[in-house]
Amino acid sequence: IAGLLEIMFLLIGSIIIIIRVGAHNSVVPFEVSGPYSIGFSSIMFASVFSILDFTGSGVVTTISEEISKPKKNIGKSIVIAMILTAVALIPAAYALTVGWGVSSIGSFATHSDAGLTVFSRYLGPVGLVLLIVFTINSYLSNGVSKATAVSRWWYSAARDHVVFPETIGKINEKHHSPANAVVIWALLSFVLDVVMGLIFGPLSAAFVLEAGTGISIIIVHMIANTSLTIYTKRVDKFNLLKHGILPSIATIVGLIVVYFTMSNIFTKYFTAPSAVNDAYFASFIITILWILGGGIVVTLYYRMKKPEILRDAGEFNMKSKI
C-alpha cells in the first residue's frame, strides 16, 4: 500500500509541477546533443546509476522457491513492477528538471536537496513533508529488497554447496528465513560502506559503490540473457521471440551502456586524474574481473572438479524443506 501511495504521490506531484511550470516546459531534457546536453557517453554512464532506481522491481525472482505458481506469477509481477516504476520515475525526472529550470540545471547535481527544493516550491509545505516521508519509506523498502534478494542468492548457493560455506545455507527454525545470510551480508555491507566512506568521503564513496553495483547488475543481466538462450535451446523449449530476439536486444543495449561507461571512466581517469576518478576506474576494473574472471574460474572449477554440484544446483523446493 505504501509503495502504491508513493507512486501516486510522485505521479500527481509531477503533473502539478509540470502544469505550474507552464511555458517553461521544454523538449530540451530529452535531447541527446545541444547546449544543455552532457553527451551520449555521459548519458550511458548515468544509466549505470539510474538502473539502481529499479532495484526491487525484480526481487520477486529471488523468492521464486517460496511462492505459488512461480512460472505464472513471477513474469506478471516483474512486468507490473517495471511499468509502475516507469510511471513513478519518468514523469518525476522531467518535472524536477523543468521545475528546477533547464537553463540552470548544472547546479541541480551540486545542490544538497534539489528534489526537496522543487517540490517545496511548487507543492508547498505539504508536498515537502510528503516527499520526505515517502523518500524515507522508499529507502527502507529498498534496503529490505536488497537484503531479501542478496540473502536468497547467498542462501541458495550455500545450500547447493556452491562457493559459500554451509552455515550461510541454514534456515532460521522460528522464522523460516535465511537469517545467517541476512546477518552476514548486512555486516559485510556495513564494513564496506564505512571503509569506503572513510577513504573517499560519504558522497564520493556512494557514487563509486553505486557505479560498481550498476555495472555488475547490467553485466549479470547480459550473462543471464545469454544463458537463457543457450538453456532453452538445450532443453528444446526455445522460442525465437522470447528466448532469442528479446534477450539479444537487451544484451546489445547492455553492451552499449558498458562500452560508453568504460569510455567515460577511462577518459576521466587519464585526462582528469583525481581521487574520485581513480576510484571509478578501480571500481570498474575490479567489477569486470570479479564478474567475468571470478565467474569463469568458479564455473570451470565446479564443471571439472564437482560437476554433480552444478547438475543438482537449484533442485530444491522451499515448502518441502519447511
Q: What is the CATH number of the domain that holds 253?
A: 1.20.1740.10
Q: Which three cell numbers stand for residue 31?
A: 535531447
Please, what sign has the CA dihedral across residues 57, 61, 64, 66? negative
Number of structural domains found in the chain: 1
Q: What is Dmax (Cα atoms) for the chain?
A: 67
Q: Which domain holds residue 161?
A: 2-321
pLDDT per residue of the chain (322 residues) written in tens, 0 to 9: 777 899 999 999 999 999 999 999 998 888 877 777 777 777 777 777 777 666 666 677 777 777 777 777 888 888 888 888 889 889 999 999 999 998 888 888 788 889 999 999 999 999 999 999 998 988 888 788 888 888 888 888 888 888 888 889 888 888 888 889 989 999 999 999 999 899 888 888 888 888 888 888 888 889 889 989 998 998 899 999 999 999 999 999 989 888 888 888 898 899 988 888 888 888 888 888 888 777 888 888 888 988 888 777 766 554 444 4
Q: Is the whole-model pTM more than 0.75? A: yes
100-108 long-range contacts, CB within 8 A, separation 24+:
101/24, 102/24, 102/26, 102/28, 102/29, 102/36, 103/36, 105/36
Q: Which three cell numbers stand for residue 261?
A: 561507461
